[in-house]
Each structure stands twice: as structure tokens, then as C-alpha cells.
């Protein structure tokens, strides 16, 4: 895959050179190729102006003409081809207000963020490395190109990218770059939360999430964002490394929120501020809700039978996916439930038995019941109202705990009893409540 992409990129470069322009592979593809890592995208920089690129290639997309970028389709792959440029007058510490097209590869590389991203490769494989990115990588250093304070002032998001690159590539942040990052951290208040979320997601789903989070804690960058995040409280918590082995990224997010013991509603609000999707934030929220539910159910008199009941009721209330997610988290990081005053012995029992307890449940969802809302309404002959969902929820709990057999006639009988003996006694005629 990588070799095929490189072949196509070289065809584009060759055509640009044949037309009298300079052209090179630049940025991340050069870095990853040097490190013998898979390359996903080959970006190309050229002295040709955008309109000249469009004239030279038949299939193009005007991706960002104002910034000099044209996407070129070569065979079945898309490549970004960008004109050499310099930038000035950065707006909101993020976007340049002025872009000037130039003929100098050196000046184009000089405007980039880190030395390992400021390298180029010509069509013959010759490396151009004016800022010693290769030496920095050999020395396991992440260093800004030129003055680190200027680079972060130009684009404050680079500070989060600095953390991400250092963690992903196992690099130490160079002393002056680190000092500048700490000094310029308040500029992050200008960065949109969506951009913050994208960087944080890449860290959490990256090769070394534990390292990334530790760097975030050490730098306290999360305390300088446009909106205050509870995740900044991680500085008060000792994290173990087991959580980073979790395969599902959202389980890692849930772990971090469990560590600072936020409520399910607080986690939901924060994830919404970070512009996560409704499905994503709901998945994390439910896992945290399960942990709080267990804490409320477990007392000094709790035994294994009570723990099993609380676990199964959590599955009924919050869903099997949420309970299974918490099980994975506790298995990877057994100490996490201690934040909720759950004794270590109960965590161990859950690790060993939790999945079997779930398998033992005859029903998990309302859809599993041999009785639906329409049948219930027809049988009790009362106007539809909140009582329907309450009755069905009761039937699901009883069937899941095997106190009631999941058979239609038995479910109807219990529904009638529960409606008359419980709901009507609570409020007279419940449907008019």
C-alpha cells in the first residue's frame, strides 16, 4: 500500500518537474518513511502555483486555493499538492491572515511546527533536512523549528500536537520547546473545542495514551482551554498503566472520568462541550452510571449474592454494553472502583464472574420480553401513559433476576398485579399523575 502510494506521488512530482517546477514529498510522510513506519498520505509541495497545478492535471479538486492547496487524483488515489508559501498575521492564534506563495523550499519548511515535520524528499529519494530533524529523532527529541514561542503563538493548537507527537513517537520534548509550551499555554483558550477534541482523541487512541495523559497532566494544558474541563483534575490522581491496553477508545475515556469520580451527567456535559457525538457520550455516560449504581448498592453487609444482583440490575438498567465496558475497564485497571469505595475483593469477584453472571441472565432488554406495550395496554385496558414503561421495566427486572418466568401469561398476570397493588396505591390512579 505505502509503496503504491509513493509510486503515484512520484508520478505527480515527475510531471511537475517535467513542466519546469520544483516538487517534493514533505512533512509527515518523510518523517514516517525515515522511521520505517507505515505512511498513510504523501503530501507534495511545489513551486507551481495552484492554477498551474490545475492546468497540468486533468482531475483536481480545489481543496484550499487560498492556502495554495489543490488535491490531485492520480489513478485511484488523492494527493494534496501545495504551493511553497510563507504565512503571516495569524488570527486568533490559529489561522494565518496572509499567505504568500514563494519559490523557496527552505522558507516553506521553515514555517512548519517541528523539525521532524520540516523535511522533504525529492523524486530520487534525496533527503532535504535543513533543520536537523533526523538528528533530533536519533536523539529522541521533539523540537520546534526556530523559536518555539513564535511557533506556538502562530498556532496554539501546536501545543497539543506537541504532546501527541511526543507520546506517539516516544520522544522527549526539547527543553526550550517545553518551556515555551508552558509559557504559551494560556493561548489555548482561543482554540475551538472541536479541534481540541480531535487532538485528544488521537492521543487517547494512539500508541501511548498513558504517556500522552501524563504529559497533559505535567503541562496542565487542560486547565487553559476555552471551556474548563474536569479532566484537568487528573493531576490529583495516580494513574496506572493498565488502562492504556483497552482496545475500545471510549473505554479509555470512561476510565479517565471514573478516576476523577465525576457523575454520569457531568461526564456527558463535558463530552458535549468537546463536541463528541451523542452516541459516543452516551456510551461513556452509561459506563459511569453503572459504577455509581454499584457504589449505591454495595454496603458493609454486602455478600457475593448481593453483588451479583446489583451487577445484573445494572445490566438491565444501563445496558449490557455499559456493564461489559465497565468489566473490561476493571479487568485492565482493577483499582479504578476503589475511587467509588468499592472494596478490592468485590472488584476481583467481578473480574472473575461478571461475564458469566451476564450470560446467566435469560433476558437483558425489553425486546427480550414475551410481552410488548400494545399487548399490555390491551390487557389492562387503561389509557397509555408513564405507567406502561414502569410496568415493563418491572417485568424486565423480575425476568432478568429469574424471579419471573419469561412467558406471556405469567408476564400479564404479574403486570396486572404490579399495576393494581403498586402503581395505583402510589398515586390513586397513576395514569392521571
Instruction: Give the domain ranges of the chain.
Output: 2-132, 140-228, 242-361, 366-432
Q: How far apart are CA 377 and CA 388, in angstroms?
A: 8
CATH architecture of 2-132: 2-Layer Sandwich (3.30)
Q: How many residues does the chain have?
A: 433
Q: What is the pLDDT of residue 89?
A: 62
pLDDT average, residue stretch 300-316: 90
Cβ atoms of 375 and 412 within 8 Å: the answer is yes
Q: The C-alpha cell of 122 is what?
A: 525529492
Q: What is the pLDDT of residue 429?
A: 46
Q: Say if residue 121's pLDDT is above 50.
A: yes
User: Strand 77-83 vs strand 43-46: parallel, antiparallel, or unpaired?
Assistant: parallel
Q: How confident is the model at residue 298 (pLDDT cuts 50, 70, 90)?
A: confident
Q: What is the pLDDT of residue 383?
A: 86
Half-sphere exposure of 349 (CA within 13 A, CB side): 15
How many Cβ atoms from other residues are within 10 Å of residue 31's Cβ? 22
Q: Say if residue 307's pLDDT is above 60.
A: yes
Q: What is the pLDDT of residue 432?
A: 46
CATH 1.10.110.30, domain 140-228, yes or no: yes
Q: How confident is the model at residue 424 (pLDDT cuts 50, 70, 90)?
A: low
Least confident of 297-301, 327-331, 341-345, 361-365: 297-301
Q: What is the pLDDT of residue 26?
A: 97
Q: What is the pLDDT of residue 65?
A: 85
Q: What is the pLDDT of residue 376?
A: 92
Q: How confident is the model at residue 88 (pLDDT cuts 50, 70, 90)?
A: confident
Cβ atoms of 281 and 272 within 8 Å: the answer is yes
- Residue/partner pairs of 57-62 with CB below 8 Å, 24 or more apart: 57/12, 57/15
Q: Say if residue 362's pLDDT is above 60.
A: yes
pLDDT average, residue stretch 246-254: 97
**Per-residue pLDDT tens over the stretch 309-330:** 999 999 999 999 999 999 999 9
Q: How far apart are CA 203 and CA 415, in angstroms?
A: 50
Closest to 141 (Cα-Cα) out of 179, 170, 109, 183? 170
Closest to 48 (Cα-Cα) out of 74, 75, 77, 12? 12
Closest to 71 (Cα-Cα) out of 84, 87, 53? 53
Cβ atoms of 284 and 271 within 8 Å: the answer is yes
Instruction: Tell me whether domains 2-132 and 140-228 share a fold.
Output: no
**Per-residue pLDDT tens over the stretch 130-175:** 999 999 999 999 999 999 999 999 999 999 999 999 999 999 999 9
The alpha carbon of residue 418 and the mean position of all alpha carbons in its chain are separated, in whole angstroms, by 44
Q: What is the pLDDT of residue 211?
A: 96
Q: What is the pLDDT of residue 433?
A: 44
Closest to 209 (Cα-Cα) out of 262, 163, 159, 149? 163
Q: The C-alpha cell of 22 is what?
A: 520544483
The alpha carbon of residue 87 and the mean position of all alpha carbons in its chain are separated, in whole angstroms, by 31
Closest to 21 (Cα-Cα) out of 30, 29, 9, 12? 12
Q: What is the pLDDT of residue 224?
A: 96
Mean pLDDT of the chain: 93
Amino acid at each position: 500500500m505505502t509503496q503504491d502510494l509513493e509510486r503515484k506521488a512520484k508520478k505527480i512530482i515527475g510531471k511537475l518537474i517535467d513542466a519546469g517546477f520544483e516538487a517534493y514529498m514533505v512533512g509527515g510522510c518523510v518523517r514516517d518513511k525515515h522511521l520505517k513506519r507505515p505512511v498513510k498520505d504523501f503530501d507534495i509541495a511545489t513551486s507551481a502555483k495552484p492554477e498551474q497545478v490545475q492546468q497540468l492535471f486533468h482531475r483536481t479538486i480545489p481543496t484550499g486555493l487560498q492556502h495554495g492547496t489543490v488535491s490531485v487524483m492520480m489513478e485511484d488515489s488523492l494527493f494534496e499538492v501545495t504551493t511553497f508559501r510563507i504565512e503571516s498575521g495569524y488570527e486568533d492564534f490559529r489561522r494565518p491572515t496572509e499567505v504568500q506563495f514563494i519559490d523557496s523550499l527552505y522558507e516553506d519548511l521553515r514555517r512548519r511546527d517541528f523539525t521532524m515535520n520540516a523535511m522533504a524528499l525529492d523524486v530520487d529519494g534525496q533527503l532535504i533536512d535543513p533543520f536537523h530533524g533526523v538528528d533530533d529523532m536519533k536523539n529522541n527529541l521533539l523540537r520546534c523549528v526556530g523559536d518555539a514561542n513564535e511557533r506556538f503563538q502562530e498556532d496554539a493548537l501546536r501545543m497539543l500536537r506537541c504532546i501527541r507527537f511526543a507520546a506517539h513517537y516516544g520522544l522527549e520534548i526539547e527543553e526550550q520547546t517545553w518551556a515555551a509550551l508552558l509559557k504559551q499555554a494560556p493561548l489555548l483558550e482561543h482554540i475551538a473545542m472541536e479541534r481540541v477534541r480531535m487532538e485528544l482523541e488521537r492521543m487517547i487512541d494512539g500508541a501511548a495514551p498513558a504517556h500522552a495523559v501524563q504529559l497533559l497532566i505535567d503541562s496542565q494544558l487542560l486547565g487553559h482551554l476555552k471551556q474548563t474541563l474536569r479532566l484537568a483534575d487528573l493531576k490529583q490522581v495516580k494513574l496506572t498503566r493498565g488502562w492504556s491496553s483497552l482496545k475500545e477508545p471510549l473505554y479509555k475515556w470512561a476510565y479517565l472520568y471514573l478516576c476523577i469520580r465525576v457523575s454520569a451527567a457531568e461526564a456527558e456535559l463535558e463530552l458535549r462541550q468537546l463536541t463528541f457525538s451523542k452516541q459516543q457520550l452516551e456510551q461513556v455516560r452509561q459506563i459511569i452510571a453503572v459504577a455509581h449504581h454499584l457504589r449505591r448498592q454495595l454496603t458493609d453487609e454486602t455478600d457475593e449474592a448481593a453483588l451479583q444482583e446489583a451487577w445484573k440490575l445494572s445490566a438491565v438498567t444501563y445496558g449490557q454494553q455499559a456493564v461489559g465496558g465497565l468489566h473490561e475497564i476493571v479487568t485492565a485497571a482493577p483499582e479504578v472502583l476503589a475511587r467509588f469505595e468499592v472494596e478490592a475483593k468485590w472488584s476481583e469477584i467481578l473480574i472473575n464472574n461478571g461475564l458469566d453472571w451476564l450470560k446467566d441472565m435469560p433476558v437483558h432488554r425489553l425486546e427480550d420480553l414475551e410481552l410488548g406495550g400494545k399487548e399490555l395496554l390491551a390487557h389492562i385496558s387503561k389509557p397509555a401513559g408513564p405507567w406502561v414503561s414502569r410496568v415493563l421495566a418491572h417485568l424486565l427486572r423480575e425476568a432478568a433476576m429469574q424471579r419471573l418466568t419469561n412467558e406471556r401469561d405469567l408476564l400479564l398476570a404479574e403486570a396486572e398485579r404490579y399495576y393494581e397493588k403498586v402503581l395505583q396505591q402510589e398515586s390513586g390512579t397513576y395514569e392521571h399523575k
